[in-house]
Structure 1
Amino acid sequence: MDLDAQEAALDALLAAAGVAFEEEPDPRVERLAAAQPLYPQYHRIGHKRQAAVQALAGDRELASRCYPLALRALLADEDVNSPRHLVEALARTVGTRRLAADLAAVPEAERAAAARALHWL
Structure 2
Amino acid sequence: MATILIVDDDNFLQAIYQKRFEDGGFDVITASNGEDALRLARNRRPDLIVSDIVMPRMDGFALLGAISEDPELSRIPVMMLTELAHQKDIDLCRSLGCAEYLIKSHVKPEEVVLRARRILRM
Would you call these one fold, judging by a TM-score over 0.5?
no
TM-score, normalising length from structure 2? Answer: 0.35
- Which protein shows a greater Rg? 1
> TM-score scaled by structure 1?
0.36
Higher helix share: 1
Higher strand share: 2
Q: Larger relative contact order (C-alpha < 8 A, sep ≥ 6)?
A: 1
